[in-house]
Structures are given as structure tokens and as C-alpha cells.
Structure 1
Amino acid sequence: MILIHAIMYVMTFGKGLTLRQYSPFLRDKKERARRIVDAAERNSVIEGLPRFGKERKEHFMKKLTKGA
């Protein structure tokens, strides 16, 4: 729900806080990366693909936290 309000605020006014500034859990690099990996895994399972293994999750986490 917070994300929806933040997106609407930024889209409507354009000069509001960025999503990263508005949402506390997006400020922390590791937490942000974990949420991205969890969402990607969930979407993959919905599409019929297998769950990510531990090594794959660690690989994605490393890539996401390095680039953030």
C-alpha cells in the first residue's frame, strides 16, 4: 500500500520524494536486493519454473548489492 501511495505521489507531482527515499525498506541495499530476488523467484514459480537454488539466490544478491 505504501508503494502505491509513493508511486502515485511521484507520478502526480513529479517533485516528491523518490521511491527509495519514501520507503524505508528500499533504503537498505541488502533488504532491497532480497525483496527483488524474492519477487523474481515468485514470478518464476508462477510461470512454471523451478524455485531458485541457494547458489542462484546468492549470485543474484551479489549482483544486485554490487550494482546498487
Structure 2
Amino acid sequence: LISGEYLESVRSDQRQAQEYGIQGVPFFVIDGRYGVSGAQDAATFVEVFGRIAGERTGSVDAVSA
């Protein structure tokens, strides 16, 4: 901490969090586009990952997973 070796990296992370509008933890940014705030159950993450998979493959089934 005293050396400040990672200070710029931390500041960069802070700027990115502000850009995303993050105001609390936990907060997950998935694929650089989806934000999941707070402690969520596994189904929420499955839905987000399914949506991303559907976007990448053009599959409607993956979006509704």
C-alpha cells in the first residue's frame, strides 16, 4: 500500500465502476454489457448467460434458457 504500485490499476477499476453506475457490492459485470447487482441466485446468472449465448448464436432457445 505504501509503494502505490497498484494505485493506477485500482483507480482505473474505480473509474470503470463509476461508468457502470455501480454503487454497491457485490456487483458482477458480465461480457462487459450486463450488470447483476447484489447477491443473486443461480437462476439469474443462468438467464444472463443464456441471453449472451443466444445473442452470439442467434438462437431464441438460448435466450429463454
Specify which structure has the higher proportion of helix.
1
Could you tell me the TM-score, scaled by structure 2's length? Answer: 0.35
Query: Whose relative contact order is higher, 1 or 2, with alpha carbons under 8 Å and at least 6 apart?
Result: 1
Specify which structure has the higher proportion of strand.
2
* Larger-gyration structure (1/2): 2
Could you tell me the TM-score, scaled by structure 1's length? Answer: 0.34
